[in-house]
Amino acid sequence: MTAPSTNDLTSRLHGLWLPLITPFRDGELDEASLRRLVRHYSAGPIDGFILAATSGEGMSLRAGELERLVTLTHSELSASRRHLPILLGLSGASTAKMLDALDETATWPIDGYLIASPYYIRPSQRGLVQHFTALANHASWPIVLYNIPYRTGVSLTNETLLQLALHPNIVGMKDCGADRAQSIDFLARRPSGFRVLTGEDAEYHDALADGADGAILLSAHLETETFASLRTLLAQGDRDGARACWKELSRLARLLFAEPSPAPAKYCLARNGLIDSAEVRLPMVEISAELAALLDEEVEQRRPQLLRQA
């Protein structure tokens, strides 16, 4: 497979991307449910897939499972004749091991990587620049930065992001910085063509209103069309309509993060028959009975919309 240019990915790095959950059954990758998910979402208003990142429980996947996940997703997309781009989530605390991971995945049928900052070590900003520069110099595919300090323990500052954004093989960022002022400042100063997608489901409306190019939303596993329509309303200048749309969605987004993600989303997907099991891998656990009851109520209220999307 011929590696795409960074311009190819940049031109497609916008809109609504889905950080696809990874279905499990009896401790194994549930391939039938995975195929069903890809067919279902590729038929809707999704602009790209993220595989094996936070929502996909990527750190729990074995090497063989990771490759199988990518292969099956690509196969289903090819069969559907809708060639949506795929980003592969990679995370690690060692630059050397991450370089090895880039080598191991260089020939996989993907379009780029979503790479988080090194976790636990909490390197300096100078160390982060050198880490991501080494990866970008080495990678066969373009890189999208993943700034999520509440998981990694370190935040990419705007000065660091602006420096990295000049690298020709770093094309965008998933913004989970949880600091709206920082996000607005970066959006105003970013280089032309550098894409920013919010990864904060609760900030979806505000991030788009502030100028983000799109979003990577776990919540879009449900009410996919409604999440996509909010962006359309804002693009059309209908701010009142967008706010009303967000009011309809915001409770669902909150409930899906009321306990560690992606367990709540998996519960809903299993309940709706899109996956065969809500199983997660330890140390993740399935949701509490209390949250299940709240989600049952929410899903029942939304059943007409959900059935239209199924």
- Report the distance separating Cα 201 and Cα 109, nearest Å: 28
Give the closest residue to 71 by CA, choosing from 61, 82, 86: 86
Measured between alpha carbons, how far is 110 from 104 in angstroms, rounded to an integer?
13
Percent helix / strand / coil, the chain, rounded to 5: 50, 15, 35
Could you confirm whether 146 is annotated as catalytic? yes
Helix (H) or strand (E) holding 210: helix 204-210
Of 41, 146, 204, 267, catalytic:
146
Which of 113, 174, 204, 266 is flagged as catalytic? 174
> Do the annotations mark residue 55 as ligand-binding?
yes
91 known member of a binding site: no
Q: Encoding tokens for residue 155?
A: 């935040």
Tokens (6 digits) for 211: 């100028």
Contact call for residues 217 and 234 (beta carbons, < 8 A): no
The counts of H helices and E strands in the chain are 13, 10
Q: Which residues are known catalytic residues? A: 146, 174
Binding residues: 55, 216
Binding residues for pyruvate: 55, 216
